[in-house]
Amino acid sequence: MNYWLMKSEPEECSIDDALAAPGEVTPWTGVRNYQARNIMRDSMRIGDGVLFYHSSCAEPGIAGLAEIASAPFADPSQFDRRSVYYDPKSTPAAPRWFCVEVRALRKIRFIPISELHRHKALKNMVTLRPGNRLSITPVSTAEWEFICGKLL
């Protein structure tokens, strides 16, 4: 099993929105970074753990727990001319962008990024590295266990 931190702007999809979705399943569409796309396409597996992170908001941080609920598939937003994520160079025969579905499991005590930075056990966490802007980052087993065991 792998673990991931997945960032979402709460105005676009919050943990509450994900929990209210049918079956608590939300397609993780609109990712337009090749490294994040490759993680979804090549590394994520059904059942992997997810830290649901609110980003680009007044106080970013971990807001919930989730899991990967599907195998990767072509992100439908790349084909929708009305979408801000439309990609005219992508075709159904040769999709450029992929997504997965995420199943929200539960809302947790909000853990702000400032609190994450205070813990020595999380000093190497990818998302906390200076300059990191990726919307999807790996979380080590030790980091996952620390967050789930000590901070929740």
Give me the pLDDT at residue 24, please: 97
* Alpha helices (H) in the chain, listed in sequence order: 15-20, 34-38, 113-117, 141-146
In 3D, which of 109, 139, 128 has the Cα closest to residue 55? Answer: 128
Band of the pLDDT at 25, cuts 50, 70, 90? very high
73-92: pLDDT as tens digits: 999 999 999 999 999 999 99
Give me the pLDDT at residue 124, please: 97
Give me the pLDDT at residue 37, please: 98
Give me the pLDDT at residue 49, please: 98
* Amino acid, res. 81: R
28-70: pLDDT as tens digits: 999 999 999 999 999 999 999 999 999 999 999 999 999 999 9
The pairing of strands 49-54 and 3-8 is parallel
Give me the pLDDT at residue 139, please: 98
Domains of the chain: 3-151 (3.10.590.10)
- The torsion region of residue 9 among left (phi > 0), alpha (psi -120 to 50) and beta comes to beta
The pairing of strands 98-99 and 73-74 is antiparallel
Band of the pLDDT at 7, cuts 50, 70, 90? very high
Give me the pLDDT at residue 60, please: 98
What is the average pLDDT value for the chain, to the nearest integer? Answer: 97
Rg of the chain taking only CA atoms, in angstroms: 15
End-to-end distance of the chain based on CA atoms, in angstroms?
Answer: 20
Contact 125, 93 (CB under 8 A): no
- The torsion region of residue 111 among left (phi > 0), alpha (psi -120 to 50) and beta comes to beta
DSSP state of 91: B
Report the SS3 class of residue 130: coil
Burial status of residue 113 (CB atoms within 10 A of its CB: 0-12, 13-18, 19 or more): middle
DSSP state of 42: I
Tell me the mean pLDDT in the region 83-102.
97
